[in-house]
Structure 1
Amino acid sequence: MKIYFVFLFSAILNFGYSQTANTYFEQIRNNEAKLTAFFSQMPKGGDLHHHYSGSIYAEPVLEDAITEDFYLNTTTMQVLKEKPSNGNWELFSTLKSQGQLERYKQKIMEKWSVKDYNNVDYPSDKLFFESFDKFSPALVGHFGEGLLELKNRAIKENVSYIETQLSTIPCDINLDGLTNYNRKLRLLALSKDENGIKQLLDSIYGNLLEKGAPSCAENFNANFVAKLHNENKIDDARFTMRYQNFVLRFMEPVDLFKNLVVAFISADSSPLMAGVNIVSPEDGETSMKDYWLQMVMFDYCHSRYPNVKYSMHAGELTLGLVQPEDLTWHIREAVYTAGAHRIGHGVDLAYEEKPYELLRYMAKNDIAIEINLVSNEFILKVKENRHPFLLYKEFGVPIVISTDDAGILRTNMTEQYVLLAKRYQNVSYANIKQYVFNSIKYSFIKDESVKKQLLKDLELRFKTFESKFPIK
């Protein structure tokens, strides 16, 4: 099957290749408006690094909160359905009656997204990561609406596939008898005792199965994901969506492992669940302390569920954000220890120990890199030649272009390609076309017939797109 895809992929890139589209692209590559028009019409395949909650634009979320009369913290701009005992909280209806609603709408938009951000008042990374908790309560009960928003926007933008990180999996398992394992796991991690850690994980894993972890996964798959997906008719001839489970890297080891086991069981048992990921700020105290331990946990779960694919947020760091020595090993451990199938961000690559060896390994083993240009510029202030994109390209690492959190970042897939063309002059139209096809080839879609159909559809879309040139 892999040989078939290599052949098909090569044939697609060469079949119908339009020299006139390429010539026009080279003529306009320094004109942002013309590039935007070009890439708006160009088929863009899939968005593989995509967070559901961060990709919904703030406007509809805010309107839902106002309609349902949430409480607003007038200091932090967080919303909640129920009023907490502490803090400055006002109902939206009260703000409206006082004539204050419009003023607060502007403040909310500035805290829920990068809208009107001035690069001065507040650290960009903190603004980004803190925004989720502020608006997330208003997403509850509106997941179907959100999926349709994402689908309709993707179709208008000529994106045919999204692999989104939808939600954590609720699983109320009592872990009181397992909390003593937190200290034991961390002590073993300090001495890099991988075998000792996995022996402890064996005990925890058996306990989690007895306590009902599979039931949590089954309920999530059937009563949340499949229900949302089918009732809203997400898949059709124009568009396909699949879902990644994710865990939060700031959690204590046993809690994180519980969620990871449930995530792997879920991904292993549903065709809609494409894989697993890990999220939250990589420079957080617990994230840094437990990073290697978490990579071992991923490897352990993969040994139990070898068919489950996973992408890893790794190397979303830069000089100044953490101590220099902490930039040298995160991508390496995600690749070598965790066995990641794709890497998300990978921004600190140039600081990694033996970066060329790592790049060759990723290229040889078909480990794709998810490039998020707008996200990396806003959160990390890394762009242009500081970004390792050209290193990945030079060493032949498979590249996919993605948005990360288009709603918070006020961006879309078109802008990613505009920046790519403007900033990296040696990226050709053929390269860009390859990245688009990569976004389907390196997706975690389980049904090979679905993947083949998406590739075939992409071929036809490009043929139609390229037939428009030369422009008259």
Structure 2
Amino acid sequence: MTRIITLFCIFIAQIGFSQSAESYLEKIRNNEALLTAFFQQMPKGGDLHHHFSGSIYAEPLLERAIAEDFYLNLETMAVSKTKPEKGNWENFSSLKSKGKLDYYQQQVMQTWSIKDYNGSVPSDDQFFDSFMKFEPTIAGHFAEGMLELKKRAIAENVLYIETQLSTIPCDMNVSDLTGFNSKLRQAAEQKDEKAVMKLLDELYKSFQKKDAKKYALDFNNNFIAKLHKDLKIDDDKFTMRYQNFVLRFMDPVDLFKNLTIAFISANESKLVAGVNIVSPEHGENSMKDYWLHMVMFKYCHSKFSDVKYTLHAGELTLGLVQPEELTWHINDAIYVAGANRIGHGVDIAYEANSYDLLKYMSKNNIPIEINLASNEFILKVKENRHPFTLYKEFNVPIVISTDDAGILRSSMTEQYVLLAKRYPDVNYETIKKYVYNSINYSFIQDPSVKKQLLKDLDTRFKTFEANFSKN
């Protein structure tokens, strides 16, 4: 990093700068190469909307699959450690001996990421379907991925990542509780929150009897803490914390079981910053059970009031779902679930009473996690179709994030380049404020850690900005 900054100083000196960082930014607004150089060097605080598996680039995952001789499905480009009974599968060593490896490597790259995307499949399918195809290459290799992300973050002056690392393994037998699925959905259909809460209370007590805390503590101690300590993740250049998450497509009992354990885990570990919910928001169960999921978060908050949570909400757009389905997801995430942050929030303009909702977010300091590259690819929402300006106009706290930089073949630097190019009314001081927001609104539990990161940001910005006043 020191060498990069030195080279940047030489570059500035050579072109004879005697101006502020803000005036220089205004001068280069329409030059993407100059913007990239500028934002690559600028301190970028934290990345708060970050999926671990989606942030690893396809190249190392493919290299691992080849090295460990995985089986490749020649139609779907999914991989497997062992050969499944059904489907057209062939191991990589066989493909290599037949001279077909190069061809299939290219096919894999175009399936596990958006490399060379040509529109042959819908963009949302291309994105969401990729996870399960490369997922087998990640199991047992979290350490390599964490170190890759740390190295890349340091290289582009990112101080902090709050990543959704892994679901919590749990083999708890809940077959005796499956009857609650229909009961919960019937109560949810009537929007009978009191009835839902009563059913959740019964389930919660059952999970306690089935030793839910054991799964949370095992995950905290033998996975999160061990990896974090063994890899020496935190140092004077970088810090990482972790969000637990649950999957929207699961049936209610299984999802609530996992959510309960996720909250217990976050409540018991300072390394676990908070809780989230993921999977396509427009999926069948995601839509059918959305309100129910929000009540589940509300219930868990009543048990673990110190645990923070951010919710993927409003990652929808006109055409992806029916118009009436765009009117209530962010509302429910905030007013029902009580979310501390909102991820994406793309459908805000369609939300019922959106002005009141935006005012509420502003008044209560509920940030929006803006993911420009992700929203452009998955939802085809960008520039003045994107609600960024709407959030800005209502003074909703904004943080800039990557979402899934590996699949999207993007970076934190690119997010700021897109921001500066597309929204010329966003000046340097405002961008700097967004950077500080990414630490101030992080879920870091230890106040001393957050304080140190803010101090580091001060120092880095002072160094960065001093370069522009030199003759």
**TM-score scaled to structure 2, two decimals?**
0.96
Structure 2 counterpart of 1:269: 268
Structure 1 counterpart of 2:384: 385
Structure 1 counterpart of 2:370: 371
Structure 2 counterpart of 1:461: 460
Deviation at 1:19, TM superposition (A): 6.5
Deviation at 1:150, TM superposition (A): 0.1
Aligned pairs (5 A) from 1:234-249: 234-249=233-248
For residue 469 of structure 1, give the secondary structure of its aligned residue in structure 2. helix
Aligned pairs (5 A) from 1:116-265: 116-118=116-118, 120-265=119-264
Q: Is the 8 A contact 1:24 1:470 kept in 2?
A: no
Q: Is the 8 A contact 2:373 2:415 kept in 1?
A: yes
Give the distance between the partners of 1:190 and 1:81, measured in 2 at CA.
42
For residue 264 of structure 1, give the secondary structure of its aligned residue in structure 2. helix
Give the distance between the partners of 2:78 and 2:107, measured in 1 at CA.
11
Structure 2 counterpart of 1:87: 87
Structure 2 counterpart of 1:33: 33
Moved over 2 A (4+): none
Structure 1 counterpart of 2:5: none
Aligned-residue identity in percent: 70
For residue 243 of structure 2, give the secondary structure of its aligned residue in structure 1. strand
Give the distance between the partners of 1:275 and 1:103, measured in 2 at CA.
42
Give the distance between the partners of 2:470 and 2:214, measured in 1 at CA.
57
Deviation at 1:74, TM superposition (A): 0.6
Deviation at 1:141, TM superposition (A): 1.3
Deviation at 1:215, TM superposition (A): 0.4
Structure 1 counterpart of 2:308: 309
Structure 2 counterpart of 1:328: 327
Structure 2 counterpart of 1:47: 47
Structure 2 counterpart of 1:342: 341
Give the distance between the partners of 1:192 and 1:408, measured in 2 at CA.
37
Deviation at 1:109, TM superposition (A): 0.3
Structure 2 counterpart of 1:11: none
For residue 163 of structure 1, give the secondary structure of its aligned residue in structure 2. strand
Deviation at 1:352, TM superposition (A): 0.3
Question: Which letter does structure 2 place at the counterpart of 1:249?
Answer: R
Give the distance between the partners of 1:40 and 1:164, measured in 2 at CA.
21
Question: Which letter does structure 2 place at the counterpart of 1:34?
Answer: L
Deviation at 1:259, TM superposition (A): 0.3
CA distances 1:43-72 after superposition (whole Å, capped 9, x unpaired) = 000000000000000000111111111000
CA distances 1:414-453 after superposition (whole Å, capped 9, x unpaired) = 0000000000011010000000000000000000000000
Deviation at 1:75, TM superposition (A): 0.6
Q: Is the 8 A contact 1:368 1:442 kept in 2?
A: yes
Deviation at 1:242, TM superposition (A): 0.0
Give the distance between the partners of 1:153 and 1:35, measured in 2 at CA.
19
Structure 1 counterpart of 2:448: 449
Structure 1 counterpart of 2:14: none
Aligned pairs (5 A) from 1:270-289: 270-289=269-288
Q: Is the 8 A contact 2:313 2:342 kept in 1?
A: yes
Q: Is the 8 A contact 2:248 2:285 kept in 1?
A: yes
Structure 2 counterpart of 1:426: 425
CA distances 1:317-344 after superposition (whole Å, capped 9, x unpaired) = 0000000000000000000000000000
Deviation at 1:90, TM superposition (A): 0.3
**Is residue 105 from structure 1 mapped to residue 105 from structure 2 by the alignment?**
yes
Give the distance between the partners of 1:180 and 1:121, measured in 2 at CA.
42
Question: Which letter does structure 1 place at the counterpart of 2:231?
Answer: N
For residue 467 of structure 1, give the secondary structure of its aligned residue in structure 2. helix
CA distances 1:100-126 after superposition (whole Å, capped 9, x unpaired) = 1111000000000000001x2110000
Deviation at 1:212, TM superposition (A): 1.4
Give the distance between the partners of 2:99 and 2:113, measured in 1 at CA.
23
Deviation at 1:470, TM superposition (A): 4.2
Give the distance between the partners of 2:408 and 2:34, measured in 1 at CA.
22
CA distances 1:244-273 after superposition (whole Å, capped 9, x unpaired) = 000000000000000000000000000100
Deviation at 1:471, TM superposition (A): 6.8
Deviation at 1:377, TM superposition (A): 0.2
Deviation at 1:30, TM superposition (A): 1.0
Deviation at 1:140, TM superposition (A): 1.1
For residue 415 of structure 1, give the secondary structure of its aligned residue in structure 2. helix
Give the distance between the partners of 2:167 and 2:211, measured in 1 at CA.
17
Give the distance between the partners of 1:176 and 1:100, measured in 2 at CA.
46
Q: Is the 8 A contact 1:111 1:127 kept in 2?
A: yes
**Is residue 24 from structure 1 mapped to residue 24 from structure 2 by the alignment?**
yes
Structure 1 counterpart of 2:65: 65
Q: Is the 8 A contact 1:214 1:265 kept in 2?
A: yes
Aligned pairs (5 A) from 1:344-363: 344-363=343-362
Q: Is the 8 A contact 1:54 1:406 kept in 2?
A: yes
**Is residue 296 from structure 1 mapped to residue 272 from structure 2 by the alignment?**
no
Q: Is the 8 A contact 2:79 2:134 kept in 1?
A: yes
Question: Which letter does structure 2 place at the counterpart of 1:316?
Answer: E
Structure 2 counterpart of 1:114: 114
Give the distance between the partners of 1:62 and 1:221, measured in 2 at CA.
29
Deviation at 1:466, TM superposition (A): 0.3
Q: Is the 8 A contact 1:51 1:165 kept in 2?
A: yes
Structure 2 counterpart of 1:14: none
For residue 205 of structure 2, give the secondary structure of its aligned residue in structure 1. helix
Q: Is the 8 A contact 2:19 2:469 kept in 1?
A: no
Give the distance between the partners of 1:418 and 1:84, measured in 2 at CA.
44
**Gap regions ≥5 residues in structure 2:** 1-17
